[in-house]
Amino acid sequence: MFKKFCVISLCIILAVCTAVGGLVFAIDPFNVYRADSDLKKIIYQFPYYQNTGIARHGKYDALITGTSMTQNFRAWWFNEKFGCNAARLSFDGGVLQDFDALLNCAYKSGNEIKAVYFGLDNYIITSDSKLVDIDERVPEYLIDNNPFNDIKYLLNKDILFKYIPTYFAYRKLDTYDFYEMHAWDRDNYIFSEESVLKGYTRPDPAPPLPEDEFIDESGLVLETLLKYVREHPETSFTFFAPPYSKLYWNSLRISGKLSATVAALKHVYGELLKNKNVRVFYFQNDIERIENLDNYKDETHYCTDYNKYMLDCFVSGERELTLSNYESELDKMEAYANTLNI
């Protein structure tokens, strides 16, 4: 009797698991196995779990990526400016390994990728951020081509009870817009000097770090990015430094990280610029903009008008670095930062 009970129970468990796994596979809310050829029809819920799937199965010829500094770009802006079919796949708080996974999937997609626009934050280059310790990253089991560990996706209770219902809820909305998803400017953030200064905390003063403090970290960034740059000469890579406010630079100065950070930027920009299919834009020394705290919600996050300005610069060439000017421009940035006392 007990043996029969065990067999029946096992059969029921297997049947339920098969049904659940089959349902998740069929709906595939994170685009692990497939994606609609029309990007606008993709229900875009969870970038860390979904970006690599969209990159692998979506249809596009230009890729916009970066951290939250790039989330307010609209892909259709790029479509209008450059006549492309762009996908904006950003990671809020993303680090190097996330972007490596994304680019790897993108170049396995079979798409002819003509352009990559990459917001290359300073902390990605230096790894000098608490963000690098966050566990929530692109799950390895979604990108390792091992079907056996897909069970973590197929039998995931959050997928079943949260993301699948949300998937169908979004599909019913006439107002759903793939291009607007995860653009944080739709939230009710306050952009003002008063609120930014109120939330700003000066770091503890510290002696200057050695200039080569971040050399190993910047070397790893170059190793990762140059792999794609050199293997794909058909792609135009545009790397750009987001315009953090003057408070960010004030903090770097006080904490003793300024010279080491600038040295790491020089290392990375200099090597990237040696490649014919690379452009580098530097927006951090746009003094008029970074001093206007009324256009920030905190010391680094800026208003959407700045995103539009950066896109215009990609077209005009304004703020573009070259091998002949990148060191002097970064020297000017360091000199400016050393004048701050906030």
Which residues touch 161 (CB under 8 Å, ≥6 apart)? none
- Average pLDDT of the residues in 24-36: 91
* Domains located in the chain, CATH noted: 34-136+177-337 (3.40.50.1110)
* pLDDT level of residue 193 (50, 70, 90 thresholds): very high
pLDDT given for residue 134 in this prediction? 61
Report the chain's mean pLDDT, rounded to a whole number: 92
Contact (CB, 8 A) for 60 and 110 = no
Is residue 132's pLDDT more than 60? Answer: no
pLDDT given for residue 166 in this prediction? 92
Is residue 10's pLDDT more than 80? Answer: no
Amino acid at 34: R
pTM confidence score? 0.93
Q: Transcribe 299-333 into DSSP letters.
A: SS-B-HHHHHHHHHHHHH-TTEE-TTTHHHHHHHH
Tell me how far apart the alpha carbons of residues 231 and 215 are, in angstroms, rounded to a whole number.
Answer: 24
Q: Which of 164-168, 223-227, 265-269 has the lowest average pLDDT? A: 164-168
Which residues touch 27 (CB under 8 Å, ≥6 apart)? 164, 167
Q: Which of 63-67, 85-89, 108-112, 170-174 has the lowest average pLDDT? A: 170-174
